[in-house]
């Protein structure tokens, strides 16, 4: 499978072929793949809205339903992310038997007040950008840690 991603949001070149052993070696070294600040600016400007979010796994859809999170909540969590919330990057399986490169972030998010809070539960977000060239947030996982 060949990957062609919009280059303006990517910090690392993940183009090319997915490693044949991606299931065994999921980690992608080198730091964040996506420019978090640029992604947050796109969200703040309204260019990326709830209409551009794709919950790409059954687990993600179930988590959103379990926590009663709307896509607006997901965008609020994204707006709270800081670079130091970055955990790692990895290859992830999504619906359609595809594998995509994702960044993983963890943040303590107060679900009631809708903001960062060091005493709140930790939220885990795993995401990518659509490979078709459209500005689509591919949400792989979103749940409390």
pLDDT in tens, 60-94: 898 889 889 899 999 999 999 999 999 999 998 88
Query: Mean pLDDT score of the chain, rounded to an integer?
Result: 83
Phi/psi of residue 108, nearest 5 degrees: -85, 110
Residue 134 confidence class, pLDDT cut points 50, 70, 90: low
Q: Are 138 and 94 in contact (CB under 8 A)?
A: yes
Pairing between β-strand 115-116 and β-strand 98-110 as defined by DSSP bridges: antiparallel
What is the pLDDT at residue 2?
Answer: 40
Model pLDDT for residues 102-122, shown as the tens digit of each residue: 899 999 999 889 999 999 888
Domain parsing of the chain, residue ranges: 22-144
Q: Please provide the distance, in angstroms rounded to a whole number, between the alpha carbons at the two ends of the chain.
A: 32
Please name the CATH architecture into which domain 22-144 falls. Answer: 2-Layer Sandwich (3.30)
Distance of CA 10 to CAs 27, 34, 119, 120, 128, Å? Answer: 17, 5, 32, 30, 10
Mean pLDDT of 6-20: 70
């Amino acid at each position: 499978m060949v990957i062609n991603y919009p280059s303006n949001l990517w910090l690392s070149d993940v183009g090319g072929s997915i490693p044949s052993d991606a299931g065994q070696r999921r980690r992608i070294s080198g730091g964040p793949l996506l420019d978090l600040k640029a992604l947050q600016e796109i969200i703040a400007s309204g260019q990326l809205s709830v209409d551009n979010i794709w919950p790409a796994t059954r687990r993600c859809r179930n988590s959103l339903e379990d926590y009663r999170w709307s896509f607006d909540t997901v965008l609020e969590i994204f707006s709270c992310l800081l670079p130091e919330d970055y955990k790692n990057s990895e290859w992830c399986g999504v619906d359609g038997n595809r594998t995509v490169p994702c960044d993983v972030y963890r943040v303590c998010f107060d679900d009631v007040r809708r903001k960062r809070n060091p005493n709140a539960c930790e939220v885990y977000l795993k995401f990518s950008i659509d490979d078709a060239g459209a500005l689509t947030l591919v949400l792989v996982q979103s749940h409390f840690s």
